[in-house]
Structure 1
Amino acid sequence: MADQNKLSKFAEKKYRDNYLQSRVRGFIAYQIQALREKLGLTQAQFAELTAKKQSTVSRLESTEYGKVSVQTLLDVACACDVALIVRFASYDELLDQTGNMEASALQPRSIQETLALLRQASIPAGGAFRHFLEFGIDQGPRTAQEYKANDNANDLASGAALLAYRASSARLAGVHQASAA
């Protein structure tokens, strides 16, 4: 959590609004650049992957460009096989979430990398998720209640396994960050 001294600057509306706009623009631009670099692509190659023009990729990677649409971010996420989260947050969350601008911190795992880690760790998955892992079948939009109804009580062990996976994933991320330093 951000300390009170850092947050006290945000009491002034003009400062707060300017900081928010600048930080979000920069965070988006750096994330897109980090994704592209993780894939080892030039801007032109990334443009082809995302079905955008190279000039659009250049604008997206500019910290001054502020007209990125959610649809464009979704296009990039889908092309790179990563998820996208867009949500409103408190200012202390903003400071915490955008505090590390190193490329390694801005490069999420793709779904393939995550599935490979799951397979490597031999984590038992519960009902619907296990079905997805085994068959790779898109089951369409599902509600939380539908997933719960399909996962029986015997799969409660998956929760413990998931926690173990998250802990090992966090340890791996710590090792990766330490080796990058």
Structure 2
Amino acid sequence: MRWDAMFFVNSPAAILMIGSLFISLPLHAEETLTSTSNDYWELKISPYTYHYQYSPEHKDVVLIGIEHHRSDQWFIGGALFSNSFGQPTGTAYMGYTWDRLFGQSALYAKLGVGLMYGYVGKYKDKVPLNYNGLSPILVPAAGWKITSRDAIDVSLLGIAGLLFSYNRKF
């Protein structure tokens, strides 16, 4: 499989990501159409994933994603990445952010839920509830705001590992 735009245009990943983003939009059109100054977009880049168990089959996981955060702390997002076995993978999700954890203005937690497409072939059993490459995801994360625009976080990937990312608000 090649890691190019044609994979996503001609695959269930494109349909999944586009459909999930539209389905997860708020049901109230007036809320969607009116943006407040507290709404923002965030670019997510992950150059490293730590696996709890070593496997010679593991490849580097590189992720790029985008999230739209609303003033009510809900967000929607999507990401493209090469999974732990080098397969192109896509995900679409929605979630909630808890700011100011333990009274610390820089500390936050997030929980995202959605769908992922990409673990296929001999790696189809590496993620739970996988059906033809499509599987549900539940991803908790904790992070630290370095500046008003920059943050780092770590996401828990079930029993497989941890995903470390840099996030840039714009």
Fold match by TM threshold 0.5: no
TM-score (norm 1): 0.30
Between Structure 1 and Structure 2, the one with more strand by share is 2
If you compute each CA radius of gyration, which structure gives the higher value, 1 or 2? 1
Between Structure 1 and Structure 2, the one with more helix by share is 1
TM-score (norm 2): 0.31
